[in-house]
Chains A and B, each alone.
Chain A
């Protein structure tokens, strides 16, 4: 995990507003919980560990162009400028988590993951990557993260909002 820089200048106040006032796409969705074969291995691993995938603590909300009034302009970031990339925002409510997992991006040749703080760090907002963590960050801090085991949780008192990017390098 490596801090690339701070890009608070690109963050729009409307992003947090949109995320806090809209549901977004809730995950895991029914297909992931029931019969999505591409998710079978992860689903079974979580279920075997005792996670409840419906009406339990495993829940996160995704936001894309369709949910966001002012979509992220990836040309404003050096890491994405002129490159193929995907971005999405994630909301994790208090008491919710995204358990231990690794990412797979089958449609990327050389996927590299980045994570950006949409807000300053708040107590109880947990993001673990391998044997490291991202904590005490400032709004706009951009980190490159290795595709190691990672997971997030919120044991604090306010929603956790973040920006996720994958870039084909």
Chain B
């Protein structure tokens, strides 16, 4: 199994309101920068090595994270958890501006030891209709032409994925790491 389409939940979650709430603030900036990249962590170091060897200009790598409970109401997370029968561990909305990328990677989570014994699940949801150029690739599945509210379950939380924006407006994606 690769990426598993779980249906559309736009009737259950007000993604327009979520997007509106997020757009009023600035999320936590993420750059390929030694100050933000803990190269002491083996996973982060591996990712950094891959990107450096491939020749990435660090300026092309940029995204913003908006966290549940910090940047947006945790009620969205509670609703999503209820719909899919899981417990949240980390929930965030990512933003990628035009001309920026999050290259091929897997989610290096420095808190992974605290998840021991849990059955981890990873979902993402599109919180706006597809706009040309806003792509998201998980394993070999390229997400384009999606509808607001489309939800996908990943085969594992640590699969290869990446995204980018070669369109004209910022791209937003809801990300959910939880346990069943």
Contact = CB atoms under 8 A, between A and B. Distances in A.
B166 A155 contact: no
Contact of A128 (B60, B101, B135, B162): B135
Interface string A105-130: 00000000000000000011010101
A123 B104 contact: yes
A152 interface: yes
A149 B167 CA distance: 10
Give the top 6 A-B pairs by smallest Cβ distance, nearest first. A95-B60, A57-B60, A95-B56, A151-B166, A94-B54, A51-B99
Contacts of A133: 135, 142, 144
B132 A153 contact: no
A126 B135 contact: yes
Nearest to A131: B145
A158 B54 contact: yes
Given A97-B164, A100-B166, A157-B104, A128 B61 contact: no
Given A95-B60, A131-B144, A157-B54, A126 B164 contact: yes
A96 B132 CA distance: 17
Most B Cβ at <10 Å: residue of A133, A149, A151, A155: A155
Contacts, number: 116
A126 B166 CA distance: 10
B99 A50 contact: yes
Interface residues of B, number: 35
B88 interface: no
Contact of A56 (B60, B104, B169): B60
A53 to B, nearest CB: 9
B98 A151 contact: no
A97 B166 contact: yes
Contacts of A126: 135, 137, 142, 164, 166
B74 interface: no
Interface string B145-175: 1000000000000001011101111000000
Given A93-B55, A95-B61, A133-B144, A57 B168 contact: no
B98 A51 contact: yes
B104 A99 contact: no
A124 B60 contact: no
B160 A123 contact: yes
B55 to A, nearest CB: 6
Contacts of A46: 98-99
B133 A151 contact: yes
A52 interface: yes
A155 B103 contact: yes
A5 B139 CA distance: 27
Given A49-B168, A158-B54, A100 B133 contact: yes
A97 B100 CA distance: 9
B81 to A, nearest CB: 30
Interface in A140-156: 149, 151-153, 155-156
A99 B166 contact: yes
A149 B132 contact: yes
Contact of A95 (B53, B101, B140, B169): B101
Interface in B73-122: 97-104
A52 B59 CA distance: 10
